[in-house]
Amino acid sequence: MFCHVLSAVISGVDALPVMVEADVSDGMPQFTIVGFVSSQVREAQDRVRTAVRNLGVSLPPRRITINLAPGDLRKDGSRFDLPIAAAVLQALGVIPEDAFRDTLVAGELHLDGSTERITGVLPTVLMAREKGCRACLLPVGNVREGRVIEGIRVVGIRSLEELTAYGRGLFTEEDNLSENGDRSKDSLPAVYSVDFADIHGQEAAKRAALIAAAGFHNLLLSGPPGSGKSMAARRIPTILPELTQEESLEISRIYSIVGMLPEEEPLMRHRPFRAPHHTVTPAALCGAGLHPRPGEITLAHRGVLFLDELPEMRGNLDFLREPLEERKITISRAGGTCTFPASFLLVAAMNPCPCGYYPDRRRCSCTLREIKNYQARVSQALLDRIDLRCEMQPAEYDDLTAGGQSNMTSAWMREHVIRAGQLQKDRYAGTGILFNSELSAADIHRYCDTSPEAGRLLRASFRSLGLSARGYHHVLKVSRTIADLEGAEKICETHVSEALCFRCGELELPDSGTGKSLRLHEGQQEHKGRMTSGRRKIWEGEKP
């Protein structure tokens, strides 16, 4: 007798339909699974055979053939245990033949017939809804995750016995509903144990973090050890805007596939923060494997990827260039090609030299060659894709001992980020753009309207600083974010000058040709002595 049950396989960040076909016929007694399957799937025959026997059903001494179609799509994992058992029980007549019509089945089985949680439930249920299925049968441990998706019935199965009861129309899910809840409850707002108010001084770094969070711009913090680079980077999640429903579902799909989605919170409500050690390999960052799986840059999607000790990452850092520009990464391997989303906020930290104390020659003994070789580990092509560069100086004693807290608290900064984010949301409604950093070259000409003074400053800076076309566009995008933070409709000279100050860390900024020198943000003016060094000169003049 021939029967089939619909299931799914994970490919990249999507689920693809797989038809599990079972045939019980005369011949030599054997249990065969075909259809381009991995060893994990072949092991299902022993688990299914034992679980069916413990259910009280004896497999006849006949030829049982299982086919997972289509045959050119590789199947791996243990998610096919439950659909294989369902198809076999149908072929044996234990369950009616049409019991699982328009129903997707996925799950792992123990030898006693109980079910075990699987990964990739969110994309599986989404695919089932798109295919017009009326229900999904999943392990009871995945029910809360599956019920995040509306418009389809998700049934929790504890054991093979309950699967059989469902097929015969004898199953009630009242117990499962009371245990798991009908839908995922809204989670509480994130509570952080850190705050930007903990950082005394370093107002320029806080300003850079504020701009980076408001427009999702990449940020590089440089400075000697102990200056607060890691402290500032780890506090950026405290000022990021809340996730939209679409962003939350997008992130949850990724974490569901890699099995990192918390069971108690099946829908991610907070932006991820990934901080891999500097010994991480390029494969772990980008995604790897014969059958590619998401790496750190995909796990940081719509969140923050913090790379500390950037020059110490011995692997070739230039593999980050394409994801930073395209906001996605395509991994090609012998087992297939997968495209993963990679729209993340890169925050990097580095020392200025191997010992970390340059240009303080009282403490730094590095030679000029050592300093150049150290800084050359981060290529100019990668630096060109980083919008904001902030040089942090050692904190002053008076800042550390001053009473009270800084005015730039996380709550204060987050209010400004949310307000700027709302302006961007209204401006880019219906375009698919979420932040200023996502603007294309064509979008820049449409949305980045500059004043005549700002235009003259951009022209002078482009020539004097030798900006690339990409650098010019990034300066405009950062200027647009600074204008949004001030609620300005048009980009002015002060916005452009601040964007140039943060981009051209060690370069002397030119005069705009108007007789007025560059003007910093007042927060930068107040702490200009700390954000500058003997290698950087910035003039102040009258307000434009």
10 within some domain: yes
> What's the rounded Cα separation, in Å, for the pair 17 and 210?
44
Looking at the structure, do residues 234 and 115 belong to the same domain, yes or no? no
Last-in-domain residue among 180, 211, 239: 180
Q: Based on the domain organization, do 169 and 234 belong to the same domain?
A: no
Whether 318 is in a domain gets the answer: yes
User: Is 165 found in the same domain as 270?
Assistant: no
In angstroms, the CA 157 to CA 115 distance is 7
Domain of 167, CATH number, reads 3.30.230.10
In a domain, 367, yes or no: yes
Total number of domains in the chain = 2
Q: Are residues 297 and 321 in the same domain?
A: yes
Does 231 fall in a domain? Answer: yes
User: What predicted TM-score, i.e. pTM, was given to this entire model?
Assistant: 0.86
Cβ-proximal residues to 407 (8 Å cutoff; 6+ apart), any chain: none
272 and 137 housed in the same domain: no
Q: Do 312 and 278 touch, CB atoms closer than 8 A?
A: yes
Q: End of a domain among 401, 431, 456?
A: 401
The residue ranges of DSSP E strands in 263-350, in sequence order, are: 273-274, 287-288, 293-294, 304-307, 328-333, 336-341, 345-350
227 and 376 assigned to the same domain: yes
- Scanning 287-409, the segments in alpha helix (DSSP H) are 296-299, 321-326, 368-375, 380-383, 397-401
pLDDT tens digits, the chain, 544 residues: what are they? Answer: 789 999 999 988 899 999 999 999 988 889 999 999 999 899 999 999 999 999 999 888 899 999 999 999 999 999 999 999 999 999 999 999 889 999 999 999 999 999 999 999 999 999 999 999 999 999 999 999 999 999 999 999 999 999 999 999 888 765 454 344 444 445 556 678 889 988 888 889 999 999 999 999 999 999 999 899 999 999 999 999 999 889 999 999 999 999 998 877 888 989 999 999 999 988 899 987 777 889 999 999 999 999 999 999 877 788 899 999 999 999 887 767 889 999 999 999 999 999 999 888 888 989 999 999 999 999 989 999 999 999 998 877 777 777 655 668 999 999 999 999 999 999 999 999 999 999 999 999 999 999 999 999 999 998 888 889 999 999 999 999 999 999 999 999 999 999 999 987 543 334 444 433 344 444 344 333 333 332 233 223 333 3
Long-range contacts of 50-57 (CB under 8 A, 24+ apart): 50/111, 51/81, 51/85, 51/109, 51/110, 51/111, 51/112, 51/113, 51/160, 52/85, 52/88, 52/89, 52/113, 52/160, 54/111, 54/112, 54/113, 55/113, 55/160, 55/161, 55/164, 57/89, 57/92, 57/94
The rounded distance, in Å, linking the Cα atoms of 478 and 439 is 11
Same structural domain for residues 132 and 245?
no
Boundaries of domain holding 116: 2-180
H helices of 235-375, in order, are 245-257, 282-286, 296-299, 321-326, 368-375
CATH number at residue 288: 3.40.50.300
Question: Are 229 and 319 found together in one domain?
Answer: yes
Evaluate whether residue 130 is within a structural domain. Answer: yes
| 95-98-101-105 Cα dihedral, nearest 10 degrees | 20
Last residue of a domain, one of 349, 382, 401: 401
Q: Evaluate whether residue 522 is within a structural domain.
A: no
Question: Residue 139, Cα to own-chain centre: how many angstroms?
Answer: 27
Q: 170 and 35, same structural domain? A: yes
Range list of H helices, 219-334: 229-234, 245-257, 282-286, 296-299, 321-326
- Please choose, from the candidates 228, 220, 264, the residue with its C-alpha nearest in 3D space to the C-alpha of residue 390: 220
**In this structure, are 172 and 213 located in the same domain?**
no
Asked, for residue 136, whether it belongs to a domain, the answer is yes
- Bridge-partner residues for 274, per DSSP? 305
Q: Is residue 524 part of a domain?
A: no
Residue type present at position 273: F
The answer on 381 and 253 residing in a single domain is yes
Domain identity same for 291 and 155: no
In this structure, the dihedral spanned by the alpha carbons of residues 439, 445, 446 and 448, taken in order and rounded to 10 degrees, is 70
